[in-house]
Structure 1
Amino acid sequence: MHVVIVTIGSAGDLFPFLWMGTALHARGHQVDFLGPIQHEPYVTQAGLPFHGLPADPAVLDHPDLWHPTRGFAVVWQATRPAMAELPAFMDALPPGDARLLLAHPLALPEADLCRAAHPGLKIAAAYLAPSNLSTVHDPLMLGPWRVPHWVPHGARRWLWRTLAARLLDPIALPDVNVARGRRGRPPVGSLIEHITGIPDLSVTLFPEWFAPTQPDWPQPLFRTGFPLYDPAPDAALSLSLQTFLAAGPPPVAFTPGTGNRQAGRYFAAAAQALRELGLRGLFLTPHRDQLPATLPDDILWQDYVPLQALLPHVAALAHHGGIGTTAEALRAGAPQLVVPLAHDQFDNAARVVALGAGASLHAARVTPARMALALRQVVGNAAMRQHCRDASARFAAPTGLDALCTRLEAFSLA
């Protein structure tokens, strides 16, 4: 089997596809990996052929990147140049054995064009987070807004259609339909309906206990556990961090996401909240200019720390709610303060709260006082600690990766 993998975005988007790609490669399949050019070291280190796609790092400075409603437009426009290269890549491949395209959801419009030109092509979509799949069932988050459980399904469908028509379709459909027209394909009228109907198989990269299968999710559907891929599983904590951890009580670790360059207010509020509560802190960001110019001795800055090695040593993890960071905290049994900004983060935060494994504070509402209040709910909470241990115990179950590979093989060769 020849597997072509295509993804977009940050390392958090990349690693789940490397989790699948390395497993398929180990089973003897040919794997070609298409991703943003800056991720080449990760892919080549994993031993997979890499084909770099254009990526503009300036998108990280766009003021709307982390906006709850305008963020999608920024991500969409930033990924189109890369996705436009997928059909040409597929066209250049020689005729061969059974071919599978394993795609990020935002690559599905181009994947559909590839199948039109190559009718035997099978397409599998990998969904990294529950909110990537639309549903009218509970729990239903529309960005930062939770739909009450008493709202009937008919009204929920109307809400979805209305929001998609106003916030998604005007942004995405012009690009999608221009690309379709160039390949002689008819236009489509709804982005969500279009991409949901494209895959031959949909794969959810999160477990049933975190997000139960909904009746209106696409079928056929394959469920796995969290794809906790670590590019450096043996990485150790730095000497400075080991010294800091040994010098006092466990700190609260803060990360707004490695790609977030707009977190100055977040870190300033965190520093003041820690001072008010008398807690130690660890600030994780590769962008030092976001932090206060000077930090007290009880706050340490690190540009990168492997979470798997760090989290057993913290009192709590405050983070943005990215699905990979959320999963790492659940595996470690670390209490979480989720501070969501946009995209899937609000839904992930709601699920952490529902598990009893953390609290949530909307990033737009962050102040030192609110940060301190939220941390009081998390740090030293014995009941929450037990819920975190219960969640951590669930990771003893198989991830389902081998079963996924078997399923991909069977449906690709059918």
Structure 2
Amino acid sequence: MAFNGVLLKILIGAAGSLGDTLPFVALGLALQQRGHDVHLFASESYAGHAAGLPFTPVMGVAAHEALLHDPRVTDPRHGFTLLSEAFATTLPRAFEAMCAEVVPGQTLAVGSTLSFASRLLKDALGVPTTTVHLAPSVFRSVHQPPHLGPYGVLDKLPALLQRGAWWLIDRLVLDRLFTRPFNAYRRQLGLAPVSRMFDRWLHQADVTLGMFPPWFAPPQPDWPAGLVCTGFPLYDNGEVHPLPTELEAFLAAGEPPVGFTSGTANATSHAFFAASAAACALSGRRGLLITKAGAQLPSPLPPGVLHVPYAPFSQLLPRLAAFVHHGGIGTTSQALHAGVPQLVRPMAYDQFDNAQHVLRLGLGVRLLPVEYAPHAVARALDRLIADSSLQARCAAVASLCRADGAAIDVACNAVLSSRDRAWRAFAGHGAKT
């Protein structure tokens, strides 16, 4: 139903991989079911996953594919440079497309962490806005800092040095790559510049959501005030799209296989899939290689190893013996929900921090790309699959995920509350002035 009897226009901006986009499809569908007019803005490559929501592409297929096929995109030293270049290109397009859909006084905006166009609607037009963070690594804390990079250097520093390290990261890296071009565009719109946008500004929408449960990443005393942790937004359209016939036949033909994926945000994981196939051959285990970019795969594949371009994880993962993946938050949450043991091979971005949470909960192991060799993978899988106590912990966490099933409803309520929060903030500001 409509919010307080009012039909609202809700503009949703999603930036990132398919796993980063699907939660916003779920959120959009739920808001649409409540009677609101929802419009999704994302990469054209994901138009087929919009589930009927009105959709506007803000990045073309060619540009998206070029990003995926650039090996630097998974390199922690160069990945942010590529993302910032894509950001500078798509920001004006996304903002202009969203502006064209605004109905004054009847519009809300929702944006993912890097969907800065959504935040611009708040600053430029006063549109009540919700920022949605899918992964906890965006929240800086001196109590439990995010695990950055392979070795998590911030974990070992005292609070004062942590703050200094963040200042340097902002000034030397993030401000140069993101804040400067963002402020240049803000100037074109007549808006004041922002400072250290990844520090506090990132969390200063009318509503800020963390779409993960507190048991996965416990909120810290220095996280943003008013943050709403919803639980995982588990959605992949699996109810609509069952497993392909060939995959069903493969699963039914023998012991549960091990699944392998490097995520949808890169197409340069040749070494990963070669080592994965070789590990299956060494251990005698059946394997399932999941990627749309089949050119990454070795040829021929060993006996008992199958390639599938895509499968809904909600349908597939409960039928695996173990799951090897990159540590993206969408993939990680689906693995937690399925109760499957995890071998995480993080490469960049939030993946190291997500992997650390999996390790802390005792639900899997981690191998860095430099460690990911066939014998090491085979040994790690043997340990995972034979560990009955780990299997029990995975089952317990799967039950927790099922208990958190109201995440999308919680998120919908929070998004709709942004209208009242924005008005209260405006009224409070007016009273002070």
**Same fold flag (TM > 0.5):** yes
Aligned partners of 1:105 and 1:195 also within 8 Å: no
Code of the aligned partner of 2:100: A
Whole-angstrom distance in 2 between the partners of 1:375 and 1:94 = 51
Code of the aligned partner of 1:378: L
Q: TM-score, normalised by structure 1?
A: 0.93
1:365 is aligned to 2:344: no
1:60 is aligned to 2:68: yes
2:17 aligned to which of 10, 19, 34: 10
Structure 2 vs 1, CA of residues 280 and 92 (structure 1 numbering), >3 Å: closer, same or farther?
closer
Distance apart, 1:102 and its partner CA: 0.4
SS of alignment partner, residue 124 of structure 1: strand
Structure 2 vs 1, CA of residues 403 and 314 (structure 1 numbering), >3 Å: closer, same or farther?
closer
1:378 is aligned to 2:366: no
Residue 35 of structure 2 corresponds to 28
2:316 aligned to which of 281, 297, 310: 310
Aligned partners of 2:344 and 2:365 also within 8 Å: yes
Structure 2 vs 1, CA of residues 106 and 259 (structure 1 numbering), >3 Å: closer, same or farther?
closer
Aligned partners of 1:272 and 1:368 also within 8 Å: yes
Whole-angstrom distance in 2 between the partners of 1:340 and 1:349 = 7
Structure 2 vs 1, CA of residues 329 and 218 (structure 1 numbering), >3 Å: closer, same or farther?
same
Whole-angstrom distance in 1 between the partners of 2:20 and 2:69 = 19
1:50 aligned to which of 51, 55, 59: 55
Residue 130 of structure 1 corresponds to 136
Q: How does 1:382-397 map to 2 (within 5 A)?
A: 382-397=388-403
Distance apart, 1:287 and its partner CA: 1.7
Distance apart, 1:172 and its partner CA: 1.2
Structure 2 vs 1, CA of residues 249 and 111 (structure 1 numbering), >3 Å: closer, same or farther?
closer
SS of alignment partner, residue 282 of structure 1: strand
1:87 is aligned to 2:98: no
Aligned partners of 2:233 and 2:407 also within 8 Å: no
SS of alignment partner, residue 283 of structure 1: strand
Aligned partners of 1:20 and 1:401 also within 8 Å: yes
Aligned partners of 1:319 and 1:337 also within 8 Å: yes
Residue 100 of structure 1 corresponds to 108
1:76 is aligned to 2:84: yes
Aligned partners of 2:289 and 2:308 also within 8 Å: yes
**Unpaired stretches in structure 1, ≥5 consecutive residues:** none
Aligned partners of 2:325 and 2:342 also within 8 Å: yes
Distance apart, 1:95 and its partner CA: 4.4
SS of alignment partner, residue 208 of structure 2: strand
Distance apart, 1:363 and its partner CA: 1.8
Code of the aligned partner of 1:65: V
Structure 2 vs 1, CA of residues 256 and 396 (structure 1 numbering), >3 Å: closer, same or farther?
same
Whole-angstrom distance in 1 between the partners of 2:97 and 2:317 = 41
Whole-angstrom distance in 1 between the partners of 2:217 and 2:337 = 16
Whole-angstrom distance in 2 between the partners of 1:271 and 1:91 = 48
SS of alignment partner, residue 74 of structure 2: coil
Distance apart, 1:295 and its partner CA: 1.3
Whole-angstrom distance in 1 between the partners of 2:413 and 2:100 = 28
Whole-angstrom distance in 2 between the partners of 1:50 and 1:378 = 42
Whole-angstrom distance in 1 between the partners of 2:47 and 2:220 = 36
CA RMSD of aligned residues (A): 2.0
Residue 325 of structure 2 corresponds to 319
2:217 aligned to which of 211, 220, 223: 211
Whole-angstrom distance in 2 between the partners of 1:103 and 1:186 = 20
Residue 242 of structure 1 corresponds to 248
SS of alignment partner, residue 192 of structure 1: coil
**Most deviating of 299-308 and 235-244:** 235-244
SS of alignment partner, residue 31 of structure 1: strand
Whole-angstrom distance in 2 between the partners of 1:137 and 1:163 = 18
Residue 166 of structure 1 corresponds to 172
Distance apart, 1:308 and its partner CA: 1.7
Aligned partners of 2:12 and 2:38 also within 8 Å: yes
Structure 2 vs 1, CA of residues 377 and 115 (structure 1 numbering), >3 Å: closer, same or farther?
same
**Most deviating of 132-141 and 305-314:** 132-141
Aligned partners of 2:110 and 2:131 also within 8 Å: yes
Distance apart, 1:356 and its partner CA: 0.9
Q: How does 1:167-182 map to 2 (within 5 A)?
A: 167-182=173-188
Code of the aligned partner of 2:273: F
SS of alignment partner, residue 293 of structure 1: coil
SS of alignment partner, residue 275 of structure 2: helix
SS of alignment partner, residue 225 of structure 2: coil
SS of alignment partner, residue 145 of structure 1: coil
Distance apart, 1:205 and its partner CA: 0.7
Structure 1 stretches of 4+ with a deviation exceeding 4 A read none
Aligned residue pair count: 410
Aligned partners of 2:31 and 2:412 also within 8 Å: yes
Structure 2 vs 1, CA of residues 279 and 94 (structure 1 numbering), >3 Å: closer, same or farther?
closer
Residue 426 of structure 2 corresponds to none
Provide, for residues 237-261 of structure 1, a one-character-per-residue CA deviation record: whole Å limited to 9, x for no partner: 3333233223322211111113321
Provide, for residues 88-132 of structure 1, a one-character-per-residue CA deviation record: whole Å limited to 9, x for no partner: 234434643332110112123x3443333313x111100011112
